[in-house]
Structure 1
Amino acid sequence: MITVNGARIACTDTGPRHAPAVVFGHGLLFGGWMFGPQIAALRTRYRCVTLDWRGQGESPPSPGGYDMDTLTADALGLIEALGLAPVHWVGLSMGGFVGQRLASRHGGVLRSLTLLGTSAGPEEARKAREYRRMARVQRVTGVRPLLPRIRPLLFGPAFLASPAARPVLTGWQRRVVRLDRTGLRQAVDGVADRPGVETELGRISVPTLIATGADDVATPPAEARRIADLVPAAELHLLAGCGHTSTLEQPARITELLEAFLGRLT
């Protein structure tokens, strides 16, 4: 645990201390563990750091501060506290919301930016209403009754149909049902209520890798194309047969993309 901006934030820190640092920001309803396959491949050459957003993963809930600007400040505080800058930032979905804000507002702390299954715009109104409603329901019932509705948002149909996916899905479910209900509601509201940052993306000057699943329901491929159009010299990859959670659905492909991208910059 590390205390940043008055909040206790869980983090992991593996790999050579003087190697280039890669910081991983996870998606909603996950934790830094979702980058396990990538860290396993990178940690001999890079210092790999994960952080769990407030009220998610192993981070306890906080009295407030679940909006994207506060989480960006948390990420910046962790980077400064651990003396990591400049870092390669890898963010999936929610972690991508933070990554875009870091890159456009605090570009000096980054070496590069990787965005996986994320969006620069605000949440579409219909989805935002649905997410807020589910967040209110789970506050009373817990998240378990909602899992059948949540899984297709987070994972693609090919992955859900694969017997090989069962250990991953079981591990995710075991973790998500343990989350504090109040903290989870605030985390969902923070995502649903976020403002867009499209007008800021032209200020991003670090090399940027964008990858998204062709079957991503939560952040469809059009969202990634929009970011690629707005970020100077960004490269975009579309992942066939993949849903929202690419690091777990196609771990080898994401690792391959990261190794090639980071390798060109090191």
Structure 2
Amino acid sequence: MKYKLIALDVDGTLLNDNHELSEQTMKTIQEVSRTGAEIVLCTGRGPQNSIPFMEQIGLTGYVISHNGAATVDVETKEIVHQFAMDTKAIQPYMDYFREKRVHFDVNTAFNMYVDNVEGMAAEIRSMYENYLMLPLDMPPLQEFSEPIVKITAFAYADVLDQIYEETSKWTPKFNSLRSGEYFLDLMHPDASKGNALKQLAERRGIRQEEVLAIGNYFNDITMLTFAGLGIAMDNSPQEVKAAANEVTASNNDDGVHEALLKYCLS
């Protein structure tokens, strides 16, 4: 067996555009797991709405969540590692989003908070339901009892482009990245999928060349370039394909199944 650790992005990669996991892809992942390879979901989602996919497939191990900001044990729900943000530095961003009337959520490893759950617009509520996660009402920052690991802004792409351009000049800097067409994430400067995958590989005694990663968006680039073999989905932006070693079929055409069949089961 060449690849001992296989990292799979979730949305746009593992799941099709209807947020569904196909039977064929699930069976192929199970077959690869039976060869002894360790499967880890590496996603912008939190543990609460990514661990259920591991359980659906019948896998144990880990999820790398919040784009690398928190790694969690699937069975025990233990936080193996997290990158905590500077709470004091968060406030100006929250004020800015409110001033711009841009919806945002604040995430600890296991919980998500917004300003007013009841007052959310229908399209925003629908977005959370699609991702199997409904937020809680946000307490004052000083009352958070757990580290904050990610802030996500949700808006149209051109609005996020402007926000990214403006806030990227601020100090202290966070890791600011696009995790989807309508999402902009802020995290600890060291938090990334690639960094978290590197730490997990070292923890498991797995060499870099024994790691395979599959993803489809800009937040996946660090793990695609870290892995011994990085595979981009056909539905990826061109910059993501350029960062990968190979390109597989799209998420609607079982690209994960195709890649695992070719590189892990042939």
TM-score where L is the length of structure 2: 0.36
TM-score where L is the length of structure 1: 0.36
Q: Work out which of the two has the higher radius of gyration on C-alpha atoms and give 1 or 2.
A: 2
